[in-house]
Amino acid sequence: MRTVLGVGLTLTVLAAFPCHGQDAADTTPPSLQALHAHRAPTPSTLLADAPASAWRTLDPENTLYMRLPQGRVVIELAPQFAPRYVANIRKLVREGFFDGLPIFRVQDDGVAEWGDTTGQKSVGTARRMVAAEFERPARDLPFTPLPDSDTYAPQVGFSDGFPAARDPMFGRAWLANCYGMVGAARGNNVDSGGGTALYTIIGGPERQLDRNTTVIGRVVQGMPLLSSLPRGNGPLGVYRDRRRWVHIESMRVAADLPPAKRMPLEVLRTDTPTFTRYLEALRNRHGPWFKVPAGHVGVCEVPIPVRSPTGG
């Protein structure tokens, strides 16, 4: 398995990539460049220097492994935002509910969706429907706010590793539908979902979904296995031809695997000085490539870094 750190960082440093062969001389004196780099770390140097305490290991009880023919997708669950859904999804997974079910919808600049398309598959001891968990009280919720404004919410930030929003006036908080976030499908009735079909965002943010779906977690590894699937040719990206379906081989709770079989993934904590400095490095990009630091960063443009300490 390769080290994930590189992957987690590709977005943040994409623009530092000079086009091969087109790199003309930079007019900044080298000495000033070095000074600049010293004073304002880039996101990647900052993460490389982060103390071990800036990282946390995934809780195996809140980690799902979804095995596809192409490889493994790892999902971190967010029980602090959707306790009933997360408990139900764990039950579904432990019943083997998802094993053999398809990814049946891949919508360009939209979502990939998987699960039961029939509504008929037995849920065993789990429930088919769970009362919606679109938002929760903001009180007692860890929250590292972004200083930047957001188009959709009075305040945005990060909570336990997830992009989130909150409304101080009403004391409510909810997860933001950014790239890689995982939510539960539902029908028109708000309480008609239960986790038997799940989606993840594979393109631009879908913030219109905020507070309209129960968001249950985030893909922390394996997004390319979902985002690079062929797009469905039916309405909303549903595969018209079921032969295009990708079948889930198995879905497991990491805690149910022997410790040696679990993936030792670590996620950057979002409640540390390191994370605050990381945000600042994203808000104002430094290094030789960026000329106009934005001075801001959107809540959905902050990749939460994930790494595999063992690398290899």
CA–CA separation, 298 and 311 (whole Å): 30
**Nearest-angstrom CA–CA distance, 21 and 152:** 41
CA dist 123 and 247 (Å) reads: 18
Q: Write out the binding residues for a second copy, residues 170-209 only, by CB under 8 A.
A: 178-180, 185-194, 196-197, 202-209
Q: x/- site string to a second copy, residues 220 to 259, per CB under 8 A?
A: ---xx--xxxxx---xxxx---------------------
Q: Which stretch binds a second copy (CB under 8 A): 22-30, 50-58, 76-84, 86-94?
A: 22-30
CB 276 within 8 A of CB 234: no
Please report the DSSP string for 17-75 in residue order. Answer: -PPTT--PPP-S-HHHHHHHHHHS--HHHHHHT--GGGEEEPPGGGEEEEEETTEEEEE
Asked if 96 touches a second copy (CB under 8 A), the answer is: no
Residue 256 Cβ vs a second copy, minimum distance, rounded to whole Å: 26
Which strands sit side by side in the sheet containing 162-167, from one edge to the other?
136-137, 172-175, 162-167, 155-159, 144-145
Question: Would you count residue 279 as binding a second copy (CB under 8 A)?
Answer: no
Q: If you search the block for the tokens 């985002």, which residue do you land on?
A: 227
Please, what is the minimum distance in Å from the beta carbon of residue 299 to a second copy?
A: 8
297 near a second copy, judged by CB under 8 A: yes
Site stretch for a second copy (CB under 8 A), options 24-32, 51-59, 91-99, 262-270:
24-32
In angstroms, the Cα distances linking 222 to 118, 173, 248 are 26, 27, 14
Does residue 289 touch a second copy according to CB under 8 A? yes
Burial 89-102 (b: 16+ CB within 10 A, else e): bbbbbbeebbeebb
Kindly tell me which of 238 and 255 has the beta carbon lying closer to a second copy.
238
Tokens representing residue 272 in the block: 């540390």
Candidates 11-19, 47-55, 74-82, 94-102: pick the segment binding a second copy (CB under 8 A): 11-19
Which residues in the 117-156 window bind a second copy by CB under 8 A? 117-120, 128-129, 134, 148-152
Which of 143, 210, 262, 277 binds a second copy (CB under 8 A)? It is 210
Q: Which is nearer to a second copy, 87 or 129 (CB)?
A: 129
When asked if residue 281 is in the footprint of a second copy (CB under 8 A), the reply is no
CB of 61 to a second copy, least distance (A): 26
